[in-house]
Structure 1
Amino acid sequence: MNERLVRVGTTYVPVLHVDLSAKWYAEKLGATINYCDDEKAILNLAEQSFFLVRSREGETSNFTDYRGSTRFFLTFEVDGKEALYNLHAEFRDQGIQTGDIEDRGHIGKNFVFSDLDGNRFDVWSVLSPTYKALQNQAVSEIER
């Protein structure tokens, strides 16, 4: 079954003001805006397509876990702890709502940040071994 699902292609994020959110994602996170109208924006971010979809006020992609904590729905990965600490400082300098760096009892460190609409995202300091292996394989094929 795992062979059927190759990757996540698109993530949909609810936003109130599509144009303002698209600019925020571009300026703060480095996303590329491929399309934008008053109902949706299509962005490239972290090698994935993100659709910012105009939604009702107060709508977010967050959810509440069984303990009552508001949770994020997506984790971005960075390449190591130094990259995590640098990104954390950069986000705070940019005024992005950013939580503290956390040790969650597993390898690496994490922090959570929010967009203009309160959609929460996680950042993790460890690239997945599968992703690293695919990168190395692609580099090897290019070098041949």
Structure 2
Amino acid sequence: MSEKLLRVGTTYIPVTNVILSSEWYVNKLGAELSYKDQDKAILNFANQSIFLVKSDENQSSNFFDIYGNEHFSLTFEVDGLHALEAIRNDFKQNEIRVGEIEDRGHSGKNFVFYDLDGNKFDVWSELSPTFKKLSNL
């Protein structure tokens, strides 16, 4: 096989109210809305498309490991610890539910945050070298 997967282009996130959720992502995270109807919204941010898909209540993109710990399915990257601290403070000021900054035993630090439907996301202080090179950061 000579072709390789190059990047993740789209992530699908379950939400109970597409209108409210799309407004939340635009206003709280700075997403750009490119399409919206009653069943889905297409947002652009963090260099990919995010589809918010209308789902039943109590659905989320979270999952549980074999020890019963709830996990996120998506990690966003920022460029350094200062950027991690700054975005966490911005999220707190925007009344986004956030966790504490954690040292998980690998390079960099992380914190989690949640959207209106309880979808859990991670933010990591280490920008991938390939993206950093491509972005000239």
- TM bracket (short chain): over 0.9
Name 1:40's counterpart in structure 2. 40
Number of the residue aligned with 2:81:
81
Q: 1:21 maps to which residue?
A: 21
Query: Would you say 1:129 and 2:129 are equivalent positions?
Result: yes
Secondary structure at the aligned position of 2:66 is classed as: coil
- The separation in 2 between residues aligned to 1:129 and 1:67, in whole angstroms, is 32
Deviation at 1:108, TM superposition (A): 0.6
Aligned length: 137
Flag as ranges the 4+ runs of structure 1 deviating above 6 A: none
Determine helix, strand or coil for the equivalent of 2:96: coil
Return the structure number with greater helix share: 1
Q: Distance in 2 between matches of 1:22 and 1:133?
A: 31
* Correspondence list, 1:27-66, <5 A: 27-66=27-66
Q: Deviations over 1:78-107 (max 9, x none)?
A: 011000000111111111010000000111
Q: Distance in 1 between matches of 2:95 and 2:131?
A: 30
* Partner AA of 2:95 in structure 1: G
Structure-2-length-normalised TM-score: 0.96
Structure with higher Rg: it is 1
**1:2–1:9 Cα change, 3 Å:** farther
Hey, what's the Cα distance between the residues in 1 that align with 2:29 and 2:3? 31
Per-residue deviation, 1:134: 2.2
Query: Aligned in 2, Cα 1:3/1:105: closer, same or farther, shift over 3 Å?
Result: farther
Shift of 1:131: 1.3
Equivalents in 2 of 1:2, 1:31: separation in Å?
Answer: 35
Q: Which runs of 5+ in 1 are unaligned?
A: 140-144
CA RMSD in angstroms, aligned pairs only: 1.4
Work out the CA distance in 2 between the residues paired with 1:96 and 1:3: 40
TM-score after normalising by structure 1 = 0.91
Take 2:48 and 2:3, find their aligned partners in 1: how far apart are those partners? 19
Match of 2:112, SS?
strand
- Structure 2 gaps of 5+ residues are none
- CA distance 1:88–1:2, shift in 2 (3 Å): farther
What code does the residue aligned with 1:51 have? F
- Report the Cα distance in structure 1 between the residues aligned to 2:94 and 2:118, rounded to whole angstroms: 16
